[in-house]
Amino acid sequence: MQLVPYKIVNKDGKPYSQVETKDGETTAFSPEEISAIVLTKMKATAEAFLGKIITDACEDLNQRILEYLIKLIKNKYRKDISKDSRALAKLRIEAERVKRAFSSQQQVVVELFDDLSEPLTFEELNDLLTGLVKKAMTTDARLEKHQIDDILLVGESINIPKVQHLRDYFNGKVEPKKSVNLDEAVAIGVAVAGDLLIGAL
């Protein structure tokens, strides 16, 4: 609390950030509200740069695995669970488990439904990862391979060997960086987000 330029106040038993807005009023924001403001600002900045409305703001590996499993179930077992909230919730948990398991295993058995299971291999995961990278680069950022100078790996997925081997997708010309301290990366991100928030108030 001594290090931040705003007050932390107690509101309904939760910490709120109390700041003075541009019109001179004092307002207290919850962490959720600040997060929403930052995301809104980032969305507007990205839309201004791309010149189009953005509906998806995050290329998520869990979601990619989930979509793959839904398609697998539909094609192989002729069962559509895309509208089954309970089945989707269970499969979402399974997708997270699968992602973590790939950090140390070459093949993971995925529990689908009704005690049915399927193996998921590194090769299949590689296709999912390549699809994510390609979408982020060409569709969202509108960049080509030769325009990429660096790849920074952060988050849990960096422990998956196939993620670390993204150099293969770039024909060995770009080496993913793993030396960045994750806590430091998060701290810098928060600092940038705070600067955007101050500018938005």
Three-class SS string for 110-125?
Answer: EECCCCCEEEEEHHHH
Residue 65 and residue 53 share a domain:
no
Question: Same domain, yes or no, for 68 and 85?
Answer: yes
Q: Tens digit of pLDDT per residue, the chain (201 long)?
A: 788 788 899 988 888 988 887 778 888 888 878 877 777 887 788 788 878 887 665 566 788 888 888 888 888 888 888 888 888 888 888 888 887 777 676 777 888 877 777 887 767 776 777 777 777 777 777 878 888 877 776 666 666 666 666 777 777 777 777 666 666 666 776 777 677 666 654
Where does a domain end: 94, 109, 124? 124
Q: Identify the pLDDT of residue 119.
A: 81
Q: At what angle do helices 31-50 and 182-200 cross, to 10 degrees?
A: 80
| Two tokens, residue 181 | 């301290």
Residue 70 forms part of a structural domain: yes
Q: What's the domain count of the chain?
A: 2
166 part of a folded domain: no
CATH number for the domain spanning 77: value is 3.90.640.10
Do 118 and 78 share a structural domain? yes
Q: Where are the beta strands (DSSP E) in the chain?
A: 7-11, 14-20, 26-29, 107-111, 117-121, 151-152, 176-177
Give residue 100's domain range. Answer: 61-124
Same domain flag for 65 and 41: no
- 165 lies in some domain: no
- Residues 49, 71: one domain? no
State pTM to two decimals: 0.51
| 121 strand-pairing partners | 107
Assess if residue 192 is contained within a domain: no
**Helical H segments across 102-181, by residue range:** 122-134, 161-164
Same domain, 52 and 68: no
Please answer whether residues 52 and 44 qualify as being in contact, where contact means their C-beta atoms are separated by less than 8 angstroms: no
CA 115 to chain centre: 30
Check whether residue 32 and residue 74 sit in a common domain.
Answer: no
